[in-house]
């Protein structure tokens, strides 16, 4: 990767515990060499697959989404161009290159997709994504630019699209197939079937495209809809409690099967013209043979004769017959719904079908059996009530891959473990580049300070230093009685703070102020009634008193400003009804703006600790957006925010009088004089005083794929800075040698 013009090489120290990967969606590339799994924590894992043995091993973890991955889709027509598109629960979309794992394009939409169907255009030149979700349209997008090409709208009963399918009919069949062009079938949450016919020249400048046909059927909240590729007169619709077969000509119901006891259907697909496979939220696959006398179409002419075999076996064949189940022996209950998909693989002259399942335990693969009609009749004669049960072919997980690694993956502080492989979990870390020290908080409440360069060398380089028990030297800070959640080095964020101060927040409700050099506890703030979740510093242009404070957020929905100079709490903002998700600043207005998970925004005065107002809805969003604009404008040299009259010092002067706060009166007076000086002197922000931070050879960033995981670490080596430092050290050593020879 590159940062600016520098080449930066990342190395990950995972630790001995495998990262959590609870799979939410799954995809197998067209060349069967890469398996892609998206998880509920927002990460995407790439698995290397051996096409012959189907053996899988995790290869790469893609980090870019901030919400659960909801759907994955291919993006390219050519098999050698392995690109995929991912979409998250927060509307984020990314296009990834499966070869190197790079993100080629990323956008964030207001529309959240629940389904993305890739469809090759009639000319076979490109792929279009047909997307549906929590909105009443069908969005057709370009997978590489991630732009909306055109939209399919509804004129009759517009509602969210719950199931979608795109097909290219061979010829006209029934009133629902108007032309031989591409046809889009959609089913709304209220059970309205809609049909759009595409002409092939639609673009973003086209008129709104409305459905050509629509019909109400008795099918609410459908989860999936699939047209049979072997017989386009048959449509499979899956709901949670039942799946149904419809005639595509007039959408009349042909047959229906309810879900097994204690399970809910998730989706399904066609195995043949008269065979379907369904899967449930328990991770089981069910194979059914459809009654040929209920189906229509030329592709089913041979299946009608097969009915005689079933009547001979004494089976009443008017409903779908369950002949096989795909289960995992000893399968324990799943913690979240699995992600399942049917994949068709072409191997030489043989076509294989796999059922893929991804869940919190890993990846499971079944080879779908090919059961002939004669074998099916034999199964019926042997035991009509018990279908054939098949175990999985492949089962793997990231945890299994971790166990197979010899030696196991190393962590940043493995030298402090007892050696049993169950060391104390690392829960927070912060790197101090100017001091080349790494500060790590642990689950038992201790804080470890180690020299970063020597620690990295111990884990990555082999040598005699690995035999020393007391190397590298480390410092232990003891003061918390529970897990350390967050660390803050205020001087690293703003030079106005003391260089020796370190702040930590823990699950024990306390914020501790440490002397970094002496290793002593200076003060313990016990203000919150919940575990500390976040620490930060206020902006530089706050009042002098607030500039000596740090901001802490706790799980009891409270926010505090703690003065490191006065050793006391300056502001306790504790009236929030929901968890705090964001904090913005209006320093010129003396405002700290707190955004909560319910969308409410609380505006607090920092000097007085007074709750100025509570905002909801669109006004709350506009205030948060205005804070972002204010930050950008302030960095450009203008005192933004005055368009609303909030930065007027006179307003704060009278507020100080009303609350009898001398500090607020003094601060408002000082800002008024400062604004007058800027107005008459014409002096803006002095950008010349902003010193550009030079690149450091090493940066260490802690990360977790799941909040319950121990913290892993990414080492970023800046090659240009590293070479410069090596050259400097070599030059110093050469001069020392020359001075040594001169002395001789």
Of 492-501, 649-658, 683-692, the least confident = 683-692
Question: What is the reported pLDDT for 704?
Answer: 87
Of 274-288, 339-353, 721-735, the least confident = 721-735
What are the boundaries of each domain within the chain? Answer: 1-20+412-478+694-744, 22-105
pLDDT greater than 90 at residue 165: yes
Question: What is the reported pLDDT for 249?
Answer: 83
Phi/psi-derived region of residue 559, left when phi > 0, alpha when psi is between -120 and 50, beta in every other case: beta
- Give the burial class of 212: count Cβ atoms within 10 A of its Cβ; 0-12 exposed, 13-18 middle, 19 or more buried: middle
Distance CA 243, CA 265 (A): 8
Question: What is the reported pLDDT for 691?
Answer: 32
Question: What is the reported pLDDT for 268?
Answer: 96
- Give the burial class of 744: count Cβ atoms within 10 A of its Cβ; 0-12 exposed, 13-18 middle, 19 or more buried: exposed
Say how far residue 508 (Cα) sits from the centre of its chain: 29
Q: Which residue reads 């060398």 in tokens?
A: 457
What average pLDDT does this structure show over 431-446?
92
Q: Which residues contact 40 (CB under 8 A, 6 or more apart)?
A: 22, 24, 68, 69, 336
Work out the pLDDT band at 122, boundaries 50, 70, 90.
low
What is the DSSP pairing of strand 580-586 with strand 591-596? Answer: antiparallel
What average pLDDT does this structure show over 523-538?
95
Distance CA 45, CA 61 (A): 5
Work out the pLDDT band at 739, boundaries 50, 70, 90.
very low
Write out pLDDT tens, residues 366-417: 999 988 777 777 766 665 567 888 999 999 999 999 999 888 888 888 887 7
- Three-state secondary structure of 562-623: EECCCCEEEEEECCCCCCEEEEEEEHHHCEEEEEECCCCEEEEECCCCCEEEEECHHHHHHH
Q: What is the mean pLDDT of the chain?
A: 83
Of 99-113, 171-185, 342-356, the least confident = 171-185
Distance CA 564, CA 502 (A): 10
Of 251-260, 530-539, 560-569, 680-689, the least confident = 680-689
Q: Which residue reads 């053996």 in tokens?
A: 55
pLDDT greater than 70 at residue 2: no
CB 728 within 8 Å of CB 735: no
Question: What is the reported pLDDT for 347?
Answer: 79
pLDDT greater than 70 at residue 309: no
CB 449 within 8 Å of CB 438: yes
Question: What is the reported pLDDT for 126?
Answer: 82
Question: What is the reported pLDDT for 642?
Answer: 37
Question: What is the reported pLDDT for 740?
Answer: 33
| Residue 345: count of CB within 10 angstroms of its CB | 16
Max distance between CA atoms of the chain, in angstroms, equals 109
CB 570 within 8 Å of CB 562: yes
When comparing pLDDT for 476 and 730, which is higher?
Answer: 476
CB 171 within 8 Å of CB 232: no
Tokens of 457: 């060398």
Distance CA 62, CA 88 (A): 13
pLDDT greater than 60 at residue 645: no
What's 695's DSSP letter? P
Distance CA 722, CA 715 (A): 13
What sign results for the dihedral spanned by CA atoms 715, 720, 725, 730? Answer: positive
Distance CA 416, CA 472 (A): 10
pLDDT greater than 70 at residue 475: yes
What pTM was estimated for this model as a whole?
0.81
Say how far residue 76 (Cα) sits from the centre of its chain: 23
Question: What is the reported pLDDT for 459?
Answer: 83
When comparing pLDDT for 78 and 479, which is higher?
Answer: 479
Distance CA 405, CA 403 (A): 6
């Amino acid at each position: 990767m590159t940062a600016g013009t520098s080449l930066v090489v990342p190395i990950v120290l995972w630790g001995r515990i495998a990262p959590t990967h609870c799979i939410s969606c799954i995809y197998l590339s067209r060349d069967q060499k890469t398996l892609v799994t998206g998880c509920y924590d927002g990460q995407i894992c790439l698995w290397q697959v051996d096409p012959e043995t189907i053996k899988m091993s995790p290869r790469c973890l893609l980090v870019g989404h901030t919400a659960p991955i909801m759907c994955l889709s291919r993006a390219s027509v050519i098999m050698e161009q392995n690109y995929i598109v991912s979409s998250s629960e927060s509307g984020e979309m990314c296009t990834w290159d499966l070869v190197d794992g790079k993100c080629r394009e990323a956008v964030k939409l207001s529309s959240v997709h629940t389904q993305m169907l890739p469809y090759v255009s009639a000319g076979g030149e490109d792929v279009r994504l047909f997307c549906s979700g929590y909105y009443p349209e069908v969005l057709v997008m370009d997978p590489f630019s991630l732009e909306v090409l055109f939209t399919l709208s509804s004129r009759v009963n517009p509602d969210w699209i719950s199931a979608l399918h795109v097909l290219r009919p061979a010829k006209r069949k029934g009133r629902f197939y108007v032309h031989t062009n591409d046809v889009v079938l959609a089913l709304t949450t209220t059970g309205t079937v809609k049909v759009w016919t595409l002409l092939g020249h639609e673009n973003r400048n086209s008129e709104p495209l409305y459905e050509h046909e629509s019909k109400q059927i008795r099918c609410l909240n459908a989860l999936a809809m699939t047209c049979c590729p072997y017989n386009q007169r048959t449509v499979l619709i899956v709901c949670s409690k039942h799946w149904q077969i419809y005639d595509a000509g007039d959408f009349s119901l042909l047959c229906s099967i309810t879900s097994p006891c204690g399970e809910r259907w998730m989706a399904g697909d066609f195995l043949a013209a008269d065979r379907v496979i369904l899967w449930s939220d328990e991770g089981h696959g069910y194979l059914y043979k459809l009654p040929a006398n209920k189906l229509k179409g030329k592709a089913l002419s041979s299946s009608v004769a097969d009915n005689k075999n079933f009547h001979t076996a004494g089976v009443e064949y008017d409903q779908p017959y369950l002949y096989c189940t795909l289960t995992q022996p000893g399968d324990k209950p799943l913690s979240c719904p699995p992600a399942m998909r049917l994949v068709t693989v072409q191997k030489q002259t043989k076509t294989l079908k796999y059922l893929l399942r991804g869940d919190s335990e890993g990846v499971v693969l079944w080879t779908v059996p090919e059961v002939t009609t004669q074998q099916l009749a034999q199964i019926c004669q042997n035991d009509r009530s018990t279908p054939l049960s098949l175990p999985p072919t492949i089962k793997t997980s990231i945890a299994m891959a971790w166990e197979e690694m010899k030696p196991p993956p190393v962590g940043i502080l493995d030298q402090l473990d007892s050696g049993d492989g169950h060391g104390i979990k690392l829960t927070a870390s912060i790197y101090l580049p100017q001091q080349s020290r790494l500060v790590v908080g642990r689950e038992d409440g201790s804080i470890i300070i180690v020299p970063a360069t020597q620690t990295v060398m111990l884990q990555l380089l082999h040598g005699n230093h690995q035999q020393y028990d007391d190397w590298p030297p480390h410092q232990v800070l003891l003061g918390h009685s529970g897990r350390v959640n967050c660390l803050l080095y205020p001087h690293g964020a703003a030079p106005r703070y003391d260089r020796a101060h370190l702040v930590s927040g823990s699950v024990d409700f306390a914020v501790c102020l440490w002397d970094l050099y002496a290793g002593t506890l200076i003060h313990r703030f016990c203000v919150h009634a919940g575990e500390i979740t976040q620490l930060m510093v206020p902006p530089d242009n706050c009042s002098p008193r607030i500039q000596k404070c740090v901001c802490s957020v706790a799980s009891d929905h409270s926010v505090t400003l703690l003065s490191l100079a006065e050793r006391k709490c300056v502001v306790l903002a504790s009236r929030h009804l929901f968890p705090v998700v964001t904090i913005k600043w209006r320093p010129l207005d003396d405002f700290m703006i707190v955004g909560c998970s319910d969308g409410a925004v609380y505006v607090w005065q920092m000097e007085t600790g007074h709750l100025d107002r509570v905002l909801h809805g669109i006004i709350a969003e506009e205030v948060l957006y205005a804070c972002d604009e204010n930050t950008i404008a302030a960095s450009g040299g203008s005192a933004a925010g005055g368009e609303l009259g909030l930065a007027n010092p006179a307003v704060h002067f009278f507020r100080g009088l009303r609350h009898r706060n001398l500090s607020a009166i003094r601060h408002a007076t000082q800002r008024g004089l400062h604004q007058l000086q800027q107005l008459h002197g014409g002096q803006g922000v002095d950008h010349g005083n902003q010193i550009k931070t030079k690149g450091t050879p090493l940066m260490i960033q802690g990360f977790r794929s799941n909040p319950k995981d121990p913290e892993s670490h990414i080492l970023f080596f800046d090659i240009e800075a590293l070479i410069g430092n090596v050259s400097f050290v070599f030059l110093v050593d050469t001069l020392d040698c020359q001075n040594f020879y001169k002395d001789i």
